[in-house]
Amino acid sequence: MTGAGTNHSIESLEGGPAIILVRPQLAVNIGMCARAMANFGLSDLRLVNPREGWPRTGALKKGAYAAAAGAVHLLEKAKLYDSVEAAVADLNYVFATTARERGQFKPILTPAEAMPQTVARVATGERHGILFGPERTGLDNDDIALADAIITFPVNPAYASLNLAQAVLLTGYEWMRAATGDVKPFAPIERSPAASRDMVLSFFNFLETELERAGFFRPLGKKPVMQRNLRNMFHRMQLTEQDVRTWWGMIVRLVEGPRDEAKKGKAVEPTDRGPIE
C-alpha cells in the first residue's frame, strides 16, 4: 500500500543518521517508523532486540509491511543487533531521545538544534545515529549512557510521551529541513501572466461604465470613493490576464443576458477569442 504522494519515477533520497529502535515492542510501530524514515530520506534502520523478534513471515510481517506504506525496502534491509553497544559500534556520534531529564550532564538539544549539527558533521564523513527507546518505558539510563547528547522534544509537559513513529518523524523532518535548506517540494503553477496595467484599467473602465448604467454609484457624491474601493479590491487580488478576461466575460453575460445556446438548453463551447467566461 502506498500513499497519494508516492512517486516511484523519482529516485528516493538516502543517507542521514541511523535510526536505532531499542527493544521496540510492536512490529506495526517498526513499520510506521520505516514510513517516517522514507518520508525524510533516512535509510539506515537498526533494531535492537525487538520484543516480537523481527517478523519475516506471518501476521506480524503483514502488519509491519502494511504500516510501512511503501517503505518496505527499509524493513527488508533493517539490521538486527543483540545489544545497543553493537548497534552503535560503527558510529562516531550518538543521540539518545528522551522526554525526561536523566541527570547525566550531557548536552540537551531539540531536533531543530541537533540535526543541523549532524548534517554538517555527516558531510565530513562522520556517522551519526539516534536511539529511540521502547514504546512503554523509553530508553533506560544505561542506554543513554552510551550517547554523546540527548534529543528531547518541545511538547506539552503534562503529556510528553510521543508515539515511537512520531518521534522518528519529528526528527526526520528536522533532518530534511537542515539537509535541504528547508526548500519547498513544489511551488504554485503560474497559469497566466500578471495582467498589464493597461489591461486592468480597461477592465475598470468597462466595469464602471456598466455599473454607472445600472445606477450603482449612488449617491453621486460618493462615486469617487466607491470607484477607489472597487479598484483597490481588484488590485488586492493581483489580477492575472486570465482573471481579467474571466471577470470581463462574467460581466458581459450578466449585462447581455444568456446566450442563444443557453436559452435553447445547448452546451456552450469554450473559445480562445474574446472574454473567457
Do 219 and 176 share a structural domain?
no
Do 176 and 214 share a structural domain?
no
Element (H, E) at 130: strand 128-132
pTM confidence score: 0.69
Q: How many domains does the chain have?
A: 2
Note the pLDDT of residue 270: 46
Task: Compute the half-sphere exposure of residue 56: CA atoms within 13 Å on the CB side of its CA.
Answer: 5
Do 234 and 134 share a structural domain?
no
Residue at which a domain ends, from 145, 180, 215: 180
Would you say residue 192 lies in a domain?
no
Q: What burial letters (b/e) apply to 129-146, b meaning 16+ CB within 10 Å? A: bbbbbbbeebbeeebbeb
User: What does the alpha-carbon distance between residue 220 and residue 217 come to, in Å, rounded to a whole number?
Assistant: 6
Residue at which a domain ends, from 121, 149, 180: 180
Burial of 40 (0-12, 13-18, 19+ CB in 10 A): buried
C-alpha distances in Å from residue 34, one per residue of 27, 58, 89: 11, 19, 22
Do 168 and 205 share a structural domain?
no
Note the pLDDT of residue 272: 43
Do 211 and 169 share a structural domain?
no
CATH of the domain at 39: 3.40.1280.10
- Domain of 100 in residue numbering reads as 18-180
The three three-digit cell numbers of residue 183, written as one number: 526548500
Do 221 and 98 share a structural domain?
no
Do 59 and 171 share a structural domain?
yes
Would you say residue 12 lies in a domain?
no
Note the pLDDT of residue 260: 74
pLDDT in tens, the chain (277 residues): 455 455 454 454 567 999 999 999 888 999 999 999 999 999 999 999 998 777 666 667 777 888 888 788 899 899 999 999 999 999 999 999 998 777 788 999 999 999 999 999 999 999 999 999 988 888 999 999 999 999 999 888 888 788 899 999 999 999 999 998 877 776 777 778 999 999 999 999 999 999 999 999 999 899 999 999 999 999 999 999 999 999 999 999 999 988 876 666 655 454 444 454 4
Note the pLDDT of residue 56: 64
